[in-house]
């Protein structure tokens, strides 16, 4: 039986003394100045400058702003938390994973929380308590306090569960909340996009009082400043990381060990491989590796702004369930601007270069990954003679199913 605290009437709030940052409009003006300056993410030196790149860049700024509003202002009350999609299909950023549904809820280091709901059928689920915030503009500034994954999560026969977050250890599902804790990040990884369903989750602070109080001037001013940091410092971080990987040797990928990433809000047990692809029209990049024994693996491509290339109507990512292996057990994928007629097409959607990622969860080993750039006309000869083929009708049907699956996962 899930315990539900009865609602408690909110005591009369003291009079809001006001905040000079709001009374003068200073906090809003500063935010607007930050927004104006963020145009350098699109117009700055070294940024791709075609009409398509300009359109993609300014669209990205609106998406990144929307994600910041959600996680820095409208849903950043740790006294009355709600789950929100900090990263969304319609608001990608930070090298998001097309296989993942990300949920965010704010926390307070001295409070207790209860998460309840249905587990759903995602291939993997992970709950992670973190200190710091992505608005600080530093990977090192966000640290993992603790995590609990689907292997350890206890549910009843129907998939219902309760998870307690507190300073003191609790029986059953429990995560530590320590001083400095600021948010809970829930990741759900999907293998079979068409059949697996997201969890149904709710979060509440134990002892929270209702109804919701009116906003306080100082709180709003503080969170407008937090949103400014998100845009300026957070945006600078992702640009720096994108430029770094794109400046590496063309068509290369570096594997980062799981333990190193999980210290700073990366998912425990996940090996990250990050690199780049360079592929002009009339070319192809052949990606090859033998998938290791693991709980989940996937590859995807992203654009200059570290957005996953649109993945509902473009096959810009593949995972272990979706991929087709050749008879020798090797995964061979083709990055190309025109359909190569093979099942494992990674469509860059017109991007001549971008970030390439490979993720392996709970892998017994890390594969060697090969990347080879070649003229598109030489692709057939580079593939095994018995490699699978796919025609235009099969591709269209596959993409239609893919679109329905993505929209189903991200339905309101």
pLDDT tens, residue by residue, 118-133 = 999 999 999 999 999 9
Q: Which of 238, 260, 293 is the last residue before a domain boundary?
A: 238
What is the four-CA torsion angle of 372, 359, 135, 231, rounded to 10 degrees? 40
Of 86 and 208, the structure prediction assigns the larger pLDDT to: 208
Q: What is the pLDDT of residue 13?
A: 67
Q: Is 62 left (phi over 0), alpha (psi -120 to 50) or beta?
A: alpha
Residues 261 and 173 in one domain: no
Q: What is the pLDDT of residue 3?
A: 57
What backbone torsions phi and psi does residue 410 show, to the nearest 5 degrees?
-100, 20
For 77-103, the pLDDT digits (tens) are 999 999 999 899 999 999 999 999 999
Contact 172, 164 (CB under 8 A): yes
Residues 280 and 370 in one domain: yes
Residues 227 and 255 in one domain: no
Residues 68 and 198 in one domain: yes
Q: Structurally, how many domains does the chain consist of?
A: 2
Burial class (CB in 10 A: 0-12, 13-18, 19+), 397: exposed
Rg of the chain on CA atoms, in Å: 23
CA distances from 26 to 19, 194, 225, 230 (A): 10, 49, 10, 18
- The residue among 337, 358, 338 whose CA lies nearest residue 287 is 358
For 268-281, the pLDDT digits (tens) are 999 999 999 999 99
**pLDDT band at residue 353 under the 50/70/90 scheme:** very high
pTM comes to 0.94
For 297-347, the pLDDT digits (tens) are 999 999 999 999 999 999 999 999 999 999 999 999 999 999 999 999 999
Residues 216 and 256 in one domain: no
Residue 11 lies in a domain: no
Q: What is the pLDDT of residue 262?
A: 79
Residue 7 lies in a domain: no
In DSSP terms, 331 is beta-bridged to: 289, 325
Residue 1 lies in a domain: no
CA distance 21 to 172: 45
Residues 67 and 171 in one domain: yes
Residues 171 and 64 in one domain: yes
CA distance 289 to 84: 36
Q: What is the pLDDT of residue 411?
A: 87
Which residue carries 């679109």 as its tokens? 403
Residue 275 lies in a domain: yes
Contact 8, 79 (CB under 8 A): no
CA distance 384 to 170: 55
Residue 298 structure tokens: 């996937």
Q: What angle do CA 299, 191, 133 make, to 5 degrees?
A: 70
Residue 357 structure tokens: 């990622």
Q: Which of 205, 238, 271 is the last residue before a domain boundary?
A: 238
Q: Which of 172, 203, 238 is the last residue before a domain boundary?
A: 238
Residue 331 lies in a domain: yes
Sheet holding 174-176, edge to edge: 174-176, 160-166, 113-118, 200-205
CA distances from 366 to 129, 291, 294 (A): 27, 8, 10
Residues 234 and 254 in one domain: no
**pLDDT band at residue 257 under the 50/70/90 scheme:** confident
| Bond into 211 cis (ω within 30) | yes
Residues 183 and 275 in one domain: no
Range of the domain at 154: 20-238
CA distance 30 to 50: 30
SS (H, E, C) the chain: CCCCCCCCECCCCCCCCCCHHHHCCHHHHHHHHHHHHCCHHHHCCCCCCCHHHHHHHHHHHHHHHHHHHHHHHHCCCCCCCCCECCCECCECCCCCCCCEEEEEEECCCCCCEEEEEECCCCCEEEEEEEECCHHHCCCCCCEEEEEEECCCCCCCCCCEEEEEEECCCCCCCEEECCCCEEEEEEEEECCCCCCCCCCEEEEEECCCCECCCCCCHHHHHHHHHHHHHHHHHHHHHHHHHHHHHHCCCCCCEEEECHHHHHCCCCCCCEEEEEEEEECCCCEEEEEEECCCCCCEEEEEEECCCCCECCCCCCCCEEECCCCCECCCCCEEEEEECCCCCCCCEECCCCCCEEEEEEEEECCCCCCCCEEEEEEHHHHHHHCCCCCCCCCHHHHHHHHHHHHHHHHHHCCC
CA distance 124 to 294: 12
Q: At what angle do helices 217-229 and 26-37 cross, to 10 degrees?
A: 10
Residues 228 and 254 in one domain: no
**pLDDT band at residue 51 under the 50/70/90 scheme:** very high
């Amino acid at each position: 039986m899930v315990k539900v605290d009865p609602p408690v009437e909110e005591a009369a709030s003291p009079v809001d003394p006001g905040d000079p940052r709001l009374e003068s409009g200073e906090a809003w003006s500063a935010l607007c100045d930050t927004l104006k300056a963020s145009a350098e993410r699109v117009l700055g030196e070294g940024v791709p400058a075609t009409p398509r790149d300009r359109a993609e860049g300014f669209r990205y700024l609106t998406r990144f702003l929307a994600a910041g509003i959600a996680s820095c202002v409208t849903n950043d009350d740790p006294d009355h938390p709600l789950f929100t999609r900090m990263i969304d299909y319609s608001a990608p950023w930070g090298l998001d994973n097309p296989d993942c549904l990300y949920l965010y809820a704010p926390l307070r280091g001295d409070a207790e929380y209860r998460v309840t709901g249905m587990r759903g059928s995602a291939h993997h689920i992970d709950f992670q308590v973190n200190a710091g915030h992505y608005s600080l503009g530093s990977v090192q500034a966000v640290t993992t306090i603790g995590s609990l994954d689907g292997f350890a999560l206890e549910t009843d026969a129907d998939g219902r569960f309760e998870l307690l977050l507190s300073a003191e250890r609790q029986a059953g599902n429990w995560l530590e909340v320590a001083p400095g804790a600021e948010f809970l990040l829930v990741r759900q990884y999907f293998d079979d996009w068409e059949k697996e369903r997201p969890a149904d989750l709710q979060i509440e602070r134990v002892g929270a009082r209702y109804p919701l109080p009116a906003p306080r001037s100082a709180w709003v001013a503080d969170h407008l400043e937090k949103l400014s940091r998100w845009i300026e410092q957070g945006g600078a971080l992702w640009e720096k990381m994108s430029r770094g990987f794109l400046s590496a040797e063309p068509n290369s990928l570096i594997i980062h060990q799981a333990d190193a990433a999980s210290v700073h809000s990366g998912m425990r047990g996940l090996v990250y491989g990050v690199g780049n692809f360079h592929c002009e029209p009339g070319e192809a990049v052949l990606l090859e590796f033998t998938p290791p024994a693991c709980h989940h693996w996937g590859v995807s491509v992203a654009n200059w702004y570290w957005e996953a290339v649109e993945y509902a109507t473009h096959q810009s990512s593949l995972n272990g369930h979706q991929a087709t292996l050749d008879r020798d057990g090797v995964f061979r994928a083709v990055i190309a601007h025109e359909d190569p007629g093979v099942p494992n097409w990674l469509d860059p959607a017109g991007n001549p270069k971008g970030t390439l990622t490979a993720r392996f969860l709970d892998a017994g080993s890390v594969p060697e990954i090969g990347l080879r750039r070649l003229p598109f006309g030489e692709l057939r000869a580079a593939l095994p003679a018995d490699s699978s083929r796919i025609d235009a009708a099969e591709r269209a049907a596959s993409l239609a199913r893919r679109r329905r699956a993505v929209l189903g996962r991200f339905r309101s």
